[in-house]
Amino acid sequence: MLDITDLTVRYGKLTALDEVTISVAEGEAVFVVGPNGAGKSTLLKTLAGLLRPAAGQVAFQGRPINGGAPERLCRGGLALVPEGRHIFRTLTVQENLAVGMMIRRDKAAAKADLDRVMDLFPILRDRFGGIAGNLSGGEQQQLAIARALLQRPRLLMIDEPSLGLAPLVIDQVYASLKALNADGLTLLVVEQSTARVLDLATRVHVLRGGRVVLSDTAAALATGDAMEEAYFGYAGQADA
């Protein structure tokens, strides 16, 4: 579904992503984990069209999408829930969801999807007319995911869904993501914390200093310390 090949992104002279190659197949839940500054958010921003790659290719469903405008890419089926959620704080929950639905032409189906996401996140039904800025962090994360789901994306990209949330709320968010993935939605998630990754991931890539230092299936990584070693750079030191 998504093929990233030798993707390089630079901020001036700083190379944030260095020849990153990652593939996401339909129905997968692919996680990219890594420490601060590894280039995780840069990766998702580039895929969503907010940053232009310096080199490399990105193909979505077989078509190159390098450097496409965000509003065009989202119409093609790519949705991003960015780090920090970025809900529209001064708009109501209803208005936030309405902006999420704006690209939908099938209004009846969009309305049905609205009912579905509110079944998935019941708190949004309770807070429908309320100002989004008054929601708690967990509720805002649910709103951000719901808003992205209303775009009916083929690939949902989420930047650090657990950031700044209480453990119980993280459980709820991950349970929702698991349900969505079980329903067939393809996920590409980046996380700094590796704690919950293997609960949901089908495949994991570890990013360090802008390079992919480990790629494997979640099943293979479930045993042993390979993910932690790659994350903290022990493997690299051992090799050196």
Partner 1 sequence: MRNFLQVMIDAVALGSLLALVALAIGLVFGVMRLINFAQGDYITIGAYALVVPTASLTPALLIGALPVALMVAGIMLVVVLLALATERAAFRPLRDSDPATLLISSFAVSYFLQHLVMLIHTGRPKSVGIGQALTTPIDIMGLRVPGIQVVTMAVTAALLIALVLFLKRTPLGIQMRAAAENFQMARLLGVPANRVIAVAFVISGVLGAVVSLLLVVQTGTLSIRMGLMPVIFAFFATVIGGMGSLAGAALGGFLVGVASVLLQSYLPEGLRPFRDAFVFGLVIVILLVRPKGLIVIGAARERV
* Residue whose CB is less far from partner 1, 9 or 201: 9
The DSSP string of 59-124 is: EETTEE-TT--HHHHHHTTEEEE-TT----TTSBHHHHHHHHTTT-S-HHHHHHHHHHHHHHSHHH
Q: Inter-axis angle of helices 107-120 and 167-182, to 10 degrees?
A: 140
From residue 35 to residue 74, what is the string marking binding to partner 1 with x (rule CB under 8 A)? -------------x-x------------------xxx--x
Among the listed residues 15, 7, 147, 20, the one whose alpha carbon sits nearest the alpha carbon of residue 67? 7
* Site size toward partner 1, by CB under 8 A: 36
Give the DSSP H or E segment for 182. Answer: helix 167-182
Q: Which of 56, 100, 161, 210 binds partner 1 (CB under 8 A)?
A: 100
Between CA 101 and CA 23, with CA 167 as vertex, the angle to 5 degrees is 55
Residue 174 CB, shortest distance to partner 1, in Å, is 16
> Under the criterion CB under 8 A, does residue 133 sit at the interface with partner 1?
yes
* Residue whose CB is less far from partner 1, 163 or 198: 163
Residue 49 CB, shortest distance to partner 1, in Å, is 8
- 3-state secondary structure (DSSP) of residue 231: helix
Whole-number CA gyration radius for the chain = 18
- 3-state secondary structure (DSSP) of residue 11: strand
> Under the criterion CB under 8 A, does residue 145 sit at the interface with partner 1?
no
Q: Which of 88, 152, 194, 198 binds partner 1 (CB under 8 A)?
A: 88
Q: Which stretch binds partner 1 (CB under 8 A): 77-85, 114-122, 195-203, 226-234?
A: 77-85
* Residue whose CB is less far from partner 1, 44 or 197: 44
> Under the criterion CB under 8 A, does residue 170 sit at the interface with partner 1?
no
Asked if 138 contacts 162 with a C-beta cutoff of 8 angstroms, the reply is no
Tokens of 128: 């429908």
> Under the criterion CB under 8 A, does residue 80 sit at the interface with partner 1?
yes
Query: Can you give the binding site for partner 1, defined by CB under 8 A?
Result: 48, 50, 69-71, 74-75, 79-80, 82, 86, 88-91, 95-96, 98-100, 102-103, 131, 133-138, 140, 147-148, 151, 164-166
